[in-house]
Structure 1
Amino acid sequence: MPNETVTLSILKANGPLLENMEDAVVREVPLTIHYNREEIATLLCSPSQTEELTLGFLLNEGFIRVPEDVYELRHDPLDHLVWVEGKPCLLQKELMSKRFVSACCGKSRASFCFANDVLMVKPLTSNLRIPLQVAYDYAKFLQSYLPLFQETGGIHSGGVGSQGNVLLTSYDIGRHNVFDKLSGKAFQSNLNLENHVIFFSGRVSSEILLKVAKMKVPILIARGAPTDMALSQATALNITVVGFAREQRLNIYTCPERILR
């Protein structure tokens, strides 16, 4: 396991008192991903679950679709480099960062996304329903999960659940990296996420909502707040967004029929 924290000397204030002490700080590293000998992206991330992050990123950006698309993956943990050999991809890399503003997925509300997203994201069809108490239970899990957060307070966490059970977990300094790692773990396990729930420690931006849509997950439960653009996209894509999920409290913003009272 990589060393995920560093210990630094700090000056801590408590009221009028100042005290010299040591504190654990979460590490951040640049991970550069190459696909078929071409540099694709550099992600700022936690130095763990690197293979899952790489596969999830490539999957969510459209470079790979099924495990058979990946021929080889090599990782240099010292220089934070990953090389993936896989099926030739017709998707143009420049589309990853090309802005595209249009009606979201053919709906009437204007939305911002990238050109690759337009090609990959479609409205979901799912009959999944979960009891309200199960939603509370997933939120509660986020509070108790992950000693590294308790130690540093510097990371986001998330998980995938089904029928009240937690199947996958991930964590990272980057919100979007959490979702790529979950996606990569599901990819490795050949797990179809279409009737699962994702729960997440942070806020829900449009970027996060599109990650969920690419994973084809119909319910997102977050401890943080959503943005208006994320909710506009969620409505168009038929995704249930739950925010401010803490203890026995939560807000259901879109597609509320999936949460049974």
Structure 2
Amino acid sequence: MFKKIPCIRVEGETFTSGQHEVIEEVPLALFVNGRHAMTAMMSPVQLEEFVTGYLFTEQIIKGIDEIESIRIDKNRMSVITKNLFKVLGPKKTILSGCGGSTSYIDTEKLPKITSDYVISPREIWSSAKAVLNSEIHVTTGGIHIVALLDHEKILAVSEDIGRHNALDRVIGTALREGIDLSHTYVIVSGRISSEMVRKCLIANIPVIVSRGATTTLAVEIAEKTGLAVVGFARGGKLNLYSHPERITGSGPVSG
């Protein structure tokens, strides 16, 4: 996921030639039934999991059983589905998750969460501490982490230059392993965006947690659709932005 490249290190007035580990970013084109669907800029790992999750959260497929085959060849990912005439959306270039073009959100057509799943603040703090530590991040300083969990264990972890890509990977892993996503939650290292909320709604994941911030649109959409958004989950503290009833021991949010 990273390579050593030359650099000049500066400490005070001292300049020293050396090398530093830098995260890989590569373009990967996705073709569905022979048609170009999108090009993603991403870390070149867990590609089948990414493709599965992406096709699902973009509603190109409704389940893993609709995929006939996935073929990976260098910078090309080719998928054949059972419905060869599936109509794709507009072509997209998906960047690493910060300001890039991703999905086009129609809030009127978003599904609502159907789950009675609840977790405790203590469980959130413990899980965040366990999963949001990465040797790759320490080495490179340039990676996002997304983890999928239930009450018992960590179900999947993904690291990528883009947190949206990483979220698709853990969702794809769950689909491939037959995991019931309505009784899981995700923890992310970066900001919760409206696009990440949309992906959770499609997957019916009832809680999304970040050790960082969220956006107003993410909270607005989550409030209307039953998703609990939790931010700044670190150091024994957290902020509940929507549906606090999913976090045990919390009351209603007041303005």
Distance (Å, rounded) in 1 between the aligned partners of 2:57 and 2:177: 16
CA contact (8 A) 1:95 1:116 kept: no
Question: Residues 89 and 141 of structure 1: is their aligned pair in 2 closer, same or farther, counting only changes over 3 Å?
Answer: farther
Number of residue-to-residue matches in the alignment? 239
* Partner residue, 2:176: 188
Cα deviation per residue 1:190-231 (whole Å; 9 max; x = unaligned)? 212011111111001111111111111111111110011110
* Partner residue, 1:82: 77
Matches within 5 A, 1:236-251: 236-251=224-239
Deviates more, 1:33-42 or 1:87-96: 87-96
Q: Which residue of 120, 126, 129 maps to 1:131?
A: 120
Partner AA of 1:44 in structure 2? M
Please state if 1:232 is matched with 2:229: no
* Partner residue, 1:105: none
Distance (Å, rounded) in 2 between the aligned partners of 1:206 and 1:13: 39
* Partner residue, 1:13: 10
Cα deviation per residue 1:15-47 (whole Å; 9 max; x = unaligned)? 333332210000011111111111111111101
Matches within 5 A, 1:26-105: 26-76=23-73, 79-88=74-83, 92-94=87-89
2:183 aligns to what SS in structure 1? Answer: coil
CA contact (8 A) 2:37 2:91 kept: no
TM-score (norm 1): 0.85
2:83 aligns to what SS in structure 1? Answer: coil
1:31 aligns to what SS in structure 2? Answer: strand
Distance (Å, rounded) in 2 between the aligned partners of 1:116 and 1:182: 24
CA contact (8 A) 1:222 1:243 kept: yes
Residue 187 of structure 1 deviates from its aligned partner by 1.2
Residue 143 of structure 1 deviates from its aligned partner by 3.3
Distance (Å, rounded) in 2 between the aligned partners of 1:93 and 1:81: 17
CA contact (8 A) 2:145 2:189 kept: yes
Distance (Å, rounded) in 2 between the aligned partners of 1:41 and 1:153: 28
Matches within 5 A, 1:69-218: 69-76=66-73, 79-88=74-83, 92-94=87-89, 114=104, 119=109, 121-144=110-133, 146-218=134-206
TM-score (norm 2): 0.87
Distance (Å, rounded) in 1 between the aligned partners of 2:41 and 2:33: 21
Distance (Å, rounded) in 2 between the aligned partners of 1:184 and 1:96: 21
Cα deviation per residue 1:119-167 (whole Å; 9 max; x = unaligned)? 4x311132111121101012102333x3111111111111111114211
* Partner residue, 1:252: 240
Cα deviation per residue 1:58-109 (whole Å; 9 max; x = unaligned)? 1111111122211111111xx3111111122676423577xxxxxxxxxxxx
Residue 12 of structure 1 deviates from its aligned partner by 1.9
Gaps of 5+ in 1: 98-112
2:175 aligns to what SS in structure 1? Answer: helix
* Partner residue, 2:99: none
Distance (Å, rounded) in 1 between the aligned partners of 2:179 and 2:127: 19
Let me know the Cα RMSD of the aligned residues: 1.9
Distance (Å, rounded) in 2 between the aligned partners of 1:96 and 1:238: 30
